[in-house]
Amino acid sequence: MLLGHVYVMKKIKTIVPHKSLDLLLFRGEGFLFLEWLAHRGLAGFVQMKGDCYPELVEVFYNNLKVINSDIHSRVKGVDIIVNDDVWLLVVGLKAEGGMPHMRDSLYNKWTTKKQIYKDCLRYPGRLRGGKVYLHKGLDKEEKMCAYILAWLLLLGRYLHARMSTEDLFLLNALQSRIPTNWVAVFKKHMIDIGINDEHNLPYGVFIKKVLTLNRVVLIVETKVVCNRTNEIGKAILTCIGMKKIIDGWVFRDVKAQARNIAKLSDSNDNSISFTPRCEFERFVMNKFKRTSKRTRKLKKFVFRMENKMDELIKNYLDSSSSTEGSDEDEESSEEDSVDVSNLE
């Protein structure tokens, strides 16, 4: 568009295709990231299915505004309000928990983006300098969670192969089971799109359910039908570089023999190599592996906390000793003055 001699470029936005997750399928394949999602009440959101009305979604975002921390819009003459009760009614999400996705949150006081990313890598020792946190190199569960953040939870962004600061803190919150207000997370994402003119237009099925709740007439509108092709299934595992062997899903560049050697080298002398032979055994083995990894992360966190506490105690003792020294000097000077007065 031409205004005088100035060209104004307006972003062309598209409706993001809806995605849903088949939780039962991935649970049967021995994955554990599903428990992270379910623990925070996200099971209903990631499994949400339905149709989308692209033109009405665009109208919804064009008219979006924020009043008293709630999202307001107007579609086909109907005033739409998306408050905490709507989130609970439509997708079963409660507006409760902290804000660990924020950089200055208390939950992130004892960690950093780089440390979180390093703990999520398959080979943490290979991490080099740089401020780009790519999906490539993440461990199995973490890579699936990063994919879901990019394509299902916070979809619509223009970059999908790397993690933002918000992604890293959210991944850490999911892994560590930190209470998170996901209603606030989704609300911020929608506001960034509608008001701050960022990203493409997501949550089409959710918006359709909200419009239906407000009795907006949809009969004559253009509809996009969401079917099984919109589900995130086993095909994605191949796309992100995995293959299935007798032990379960592994990365293509990992050989079964190398995995067994690594297991033996990491274990104690008294341990026994175990190869699962059924889905239940694979699930239990993965559960123990995940618990072990969380324990190692917790030990690192406690170690960093102890170092911080030691430093604080040392600083306190140093300041106390200096204060006591000054008090003793004052007392000695007072005693000397008393002695002199007595002599006189």
pTM metric for this prediction = 0.71
Give the pLDDT of the chain (344 residues) as one tens digit per residue: 444 444 444 556 788 889 999 888 888 888 989 899 999 899 999 999 999 999 999 999 999 999 999 999 999 999 999 999 999 999 999 999 999 988 888 888 888 888 999 999 988 887 776 678 889 889 999 999 999 999 999 988 877 888 999 999 999 999 989 999 999 999 999 998 888 766 789 999 999 999 999 999 999 999 999 888 888 888 888 888 899 888 788 898 876 444 444 444 444 444 444 555 565 566 666 667 667 777 777 766 666 676 677 676 667 666 766 555 555 555 455 444 444 344 34
H-helix segments, 149-278? 165-176, 182-194, 204-213, 235-239, 256-266
pLDDT at 83: 96
pLDDT of residue 257: 43
Specify the pLDDT at position 77: 96
Please name the residue ranges forming H helices in the chain.
23-28, 33-39, 43-46, 54-62, 84-91, 113-119, 140-148, 165-176, 182-194, 204-213, 235-239, 256-266, 279-343
**How far, CA to CA in Å, does 108 sit from each of 82, 99, 104, 170, 313?**
29, 10, 7, 11, 22
**What pLDDT is attached to residue 154?**
92
Q: What is the pLDDT of residue 49?
A: 92
pLDDT at 337: 47
pLDDT on residue 58? 94
CA 113 vs. chain centroid, Å, equals 12
Contact 206, 190 (CB under 8 A): no
Give pairs for 81-89: CB < 8 Å, separation 24+. Answer: 82/187, 82/190, 82/210, 84/183, 86/210, 86/213, 87/183, 87/186, 89/213
pLDDT score for 2: 40
At 7 the pLDDT is 42
- What are the residue boundaries of the structural domains of the chain, listed by start? 13-244, 248-309
The Cβ of residue 133 has, within 10 Å, a number of other Cβ atoms equal to 23
- Quick one: pLDDT at residue 13? 75
Instruction: Give the pLDDT score at 340.
Output: 39
